[in-house]
Structure 1
Amino acid sequence: MGNLVGYAHLINAMELKAIGVKKPALVQPVTRIEQINGALAVPQAVAPEAGDFLAHIIFALKHEGVNLSILAQALPRIEGRLLVEAITQSPSSGYLRKVCFLWEAYSDRSLDYTDKPRGPGVLLFDPERYITGPSVRNNRWRVDFNGLGTLQYCATVERTPEVQALLEYDILGRSKEFIASLPKEMMDRAINWAYLSETDSSFAIEKEAPSQQKSERFVQLLRQAHDRQPLTEDYLVSLQNNAISQPLEWAVAFRHEQNHLTNSFRGAAGVTYIPPPPELCRDLMFELMAFANRAPLELDPLVAAGIASFGFVFLHPFMDGNGRLSRFLIHQALCCSGALENGLLLPVSVAMKREEQRYLEALQSFSKPARQFWDVRWIDADNMSLNFTGDPSLYRYWDATECVAFTLEMAKRALEVELREETEYLQRYDTLLKVVNDNYDVRGSLLSKLIMQCLDQNGVVSKGRRKQYNGYIQEEVFDFLEGHAQALLAEAYAEPDGQ
Structure 2
Amino acid sequence: MVTILDPDQQYALAEGDPSPRHKVSNNLPGTPAFCPLVRRTPDLAAFSQKALGERAREAIGRVRPDLVARAAAFILLNDSKSSFAIEGERPSGQRAARWGQAIAQAGVRPLSLDELDRLQRIVIGDARFVRLGLRDEGGFIGVHDRDTNMPIPDHISARHEDLESLVGGLIAFSDRAARGAMDPVVAAACLAFGFVYIHPYVDGNGRLHRWLIHHALAAASYSPPGLVFPVSAVILRNIDRYRAVLESWSAPLLPFIEWRPTVSGNVEVLNDTAAFYRYFDATAHATFLYACVEQTVEHDLPQEVRFLQAFDTFSEGVQQIIDMPTAQAELLHKFLGQNDGRLSQRARTKEFAALDDAEVERIEALYADAFERDRRNAK
After TM superposition, the score normalised by the length of structure 1 is 0.69
CA distance in 1, matches of 2:225, 2:25: 38
2 CA distance for matches of 1:279 and 1:390?
10
- Mapped to 1, the partners of 2:20 and 2:66 lie a distance apart of 56
Cα distance in 2 for partners of 1:213, 1:494 equals 36
The amino acid that maps onto 1:328 is W
CA deviation after TM superposition for structure 1 residue 341, in Å: 5.2
Query: Quick check: 1:259–1:274 contact (8 Å CA) kept in 2?
Result: yes
Matched, 1:224 2:122: no
SS in 2 for 1:262: strand
Q: Measure the CA separation in 2 of the matches of 1:275 and 1:385.
A: 9
- Residue aligning to 1:84: none
CA distance in 1, matches of 2:72, 2:172: 30
Measure, in 2, the Cα distance between the counterparts of 1:409 and 1:128: 21
- 3-state DSSP of counterpart to 2:128: helix
Q: Which runs of 5+ in 1 are unaligned?
A: 1-120
Deviations 1:435-463 (A, max 9, x none): 12112244542222111332455534344
In 2, the alpha carbon distance for the partners of 1:413 and 1:265 equals: 39
TM-score normalised per structure 2: 0.89
Out of 176, 181, 188, the residue aligned to residue 69 of structure 2 is: 188
Identity %: 29
C-alpha displacement of 1:191: 0.8
Partner of 2:186: 303
Local SS of the residue matching 1:362: helix
1:273 aligned counterpart, secondary structure: strand
Following TM superposition, by how much is the alpha carbon of 1:490 offset from its aligned partner in structure 2, in angstroms?
3.2
- Structure with greater Cα Rg: 1
Matched, 1:213 2:84: no
Q: C-alpha offsets along residues 383-427 of structure 1, whole Å, 9 cap, x if unaligned?
A: 244334464322221011111111111112122222211111111
Task: Flag the structure with more relative contact order, 1 or 2, with Cα contacts below 8 A and sequence separation at least 6.
Answer: 2
Which of residues 133, 136, 148 in structure 2 aligns to 1:256? 136
SS at match of 2:139: coil
Distance 1:158 1:236 in 2: 29
Residue by residue over 1:271-300, the C-alpha shift from the partner in whole angstroms, topping out at 9 and shown as x without a partner, is 111111012222111011011123134212
Is the Cα–Cα contact under 8 Å of residues 195 and 347 in structure 1 kept in the other structure? yes
Indicate how the Cα distance of structure 1 residues 253 and 457 shifts in structure 2: closer, same or farther if over 3 A, else same. same
Name the CA distance, whole Å, in 2 between partners of 1:231 and 1:484.
49
Is the CA contact 1:296–1:305 (under 8 Å) kept in the aligned structure 2?
A: no
Q: How much has 1:180 moved relative to structure 2? A: 1.7
Q: Which residue of the other structure, out of 191, 195, 198, is the alignment partner of 1:315?
A: 198
- In the TM superposition, residue 313 of structure 1 has moved relative to its aligned partner by 0.9
User: Secondary structure of the equivalent of 2:106?
Assistant: helix
Per the TM alignment, residue 251 of structure 1 is displaced from its structure 2 partner at its CA by 5.5
Count matched residues: 375
Q: Which residue of 1 aligns with 2:299?
A: 417
Q: Distance in 1 between matches of 2:99 and 2:188?
A: 19
Q: Which of residues 162, 166, 170 is equivalent to 1:288?
A: 170
2:45 — aligned with what? 164
Give the counterpart letter for 2:361 in structure 1.
D
RMSD: 2.5
